Amino acid sequence: MRLVHTRAEVREWSREQRGAGRPIGLVPTMGSLHVGHTSLVEIARRSAEAVVLSIFVNPLQFAPTEDFDRYPRDLEADLEKAAAAGVDLVFAPSVDEMYPQGRPWVVIVPEQGADVLCGRTRPGHFTGVLTVVSKLFSITTPDLAVFGLKDFQQLTLIRRMTSDLDHPVEIVPAPIVREADGLALSSRNRYLSQTERESALRLSASLRKCEELFESGERRAAVFRETMTEVGGGGVSLEYAEVVHPETLEHVDVVDHGTVCAVAARVGSTRLIDNHALGIGFN
């Protein structure tokens, strides 16, 4: 596995892979790798012979009040995990390498994607995400890129951007990876104290309950919303509980197979998100 820090080195590597007829898979990350990330690498590996994993804590997607400075960074540990997962190239650029002109031109998210769920509570966040993902596509020229369903709104908006801007990249979704007790894996879980971690289980427990409701025949979206709202309390402060269409992100009144129940909450000072597409069972 090689580690590079510049766009030029990645471009050269991509040219070599292409020349050798090896399809390229991209796994974009902000580092602090966990099993959720290595599962993305495994999925990329199924169709790509050359896998590039980017590690970049992207300042553009953090508001000044958010955790950019304290976001966990541990390149050495990440490199070990990436190598063990079978990554071929790690691209770990500096902020200056990614944004040499300072404030870059950006990808603006249309209203219907920006004003709902995390877009409402984190203004500008998805502009930052889509801008860096678009740059990563241009730099790495992947055939496919893998994104986790845990960041479901991010995945939906990336799909839409890829189609609207004609990026020749296949977007591959990866299932949410959970701990045995249901907690969705997230780099931010490491901020949680033991007590907070127990409180955080309220998110996945509410989603499990939503799946049970769906399986028992309930279809009124309001009932699912109410169930997720119960996440609040016990050290958890609810940010949103929404029931939306998986592609349009619009609120629905009646749920169907694939409708997404999405929840965001603060546990202590840590913001966590989780979601579940109804009708697929809950592991």
Q: Interacting stretch for ligand PAF, rule CB under 6 A, among 26-34, 101-109, 169-177, 264-272?
A: 26-34
Count residues contacting ligand PAF (CB under 6 A)? 10
Residue showing the smallest CB distance to ligand PAF in the complex: 28
Query: Which region holds residue 279: left if phi is over 0, alpha if psi is between -120 and 50, else beta?
Result: left
Whichever of 58 and 156 has its CB closer to ligand PAF, that residue is 58
Is 28 a binder of ligand PAF (CB under 6 A)? yes
Amino acid identity for residue 246 in this structure: P
Whichever of 154 and 227 has its CB closer to ligand PAF, that residue is 154
Is 29 a binder of ligand PAF (CB under 6 A)? yes
The per-type count for the chain, helices as H runs and strands as E runs, is 10, 9
Distance of alpha carbon 102 from the chain centroid:
25
Is 156 a binder of ligand PAF (CB under 6 A)? no
Residues 33-92 interacting with ligand PAF (rule: CB under 6 A) = 58, 61
Residues 121-140 interacting with ligand PAF (rule: CB under 6 A) = 129, 132-133
Catalytic residue among 37, 125, 167, 276: 37
Going by C-alpha positions, the residue among 265, 252, 261 that lies closest to residue 280 is: 261
Q: Interacting stretch for ligand PAF, rule CB under 6 A, among 27-35, 72-80, 224-232, 272-280?
A: 27-35
Tell me if residue 201 falls in helix, strand or coil.
helix
Whichever of 55 and 183 has its CB closer to ligand PAF, that residue is 55
Can you tell me the distance from the alpha carbon of 129 to that of 133, in angstroms, rounded to the nearest whole number? Answer: 6
Can you tell me the distance from the alpha carbon of 187 to that of 73, in angstroms, rounded to the nearest whole number? Answer: 10
Q: Annotated catalytic, 5?
A: no
At its nearest, how many Å lie between ligand PAF and the CB of residue 50?
19
Going by C-alpha positions, the residue among 92, 86, 67, 132 that lies closest to residue 3 is: 92
Can you tell me the distance from the alpha carbon of 101 to that of 97, in angstroms, rounded to the nearest whole number? Answer: 9
Of the candidate residues 49, 151, 198, 230, the single one contacting ligand PAF (CB under 6 A)? 151
Contact 45/25 with Cβ under 8 angstroms?
A: yes
Can you tell me the distance from the alpha carbon of 85 to that of 65, in angstroms, rounded to the nearest whole number? Answer: 34
At its nearest, how many Å lie between ligand PAF and the CB of residue 232?
25
Of the candidate residues 10, 24, 30, 241, the single one contacting ligand PAF (CB under 6 A)? 30
Can you tell me the distance from the alpha carbon of 263 to that of 50, in angstroms, rounded to the nearest whole number? Answer: 35
Is 174 a binder of ligand PAF (CB under 6 A)? no
Can you tell me the distance from the alpha carbon of 233 to that of 235, in angstroms, rounded to the nearest whole number? Answer: 6
Can you tell me the distance from the alpha carbon of 70 to that of 67, in angstroms, rounded to the nearest whole number? Answer: 5
At its nearest, how many Å lie between ligand PAF and the CB of residue 212?
29
At its nearest, how many Å lie between ligand PAF and the CB of residue 34?
11
Whichever of 170 and 230 has its CB closer to ligand PAF, that residue is 170
Binding positions for ligand PAF, rule: CB under 6 A? 28-30, 58, 61, 129, 132-133, 151, 154
Catalytic site positions: 37
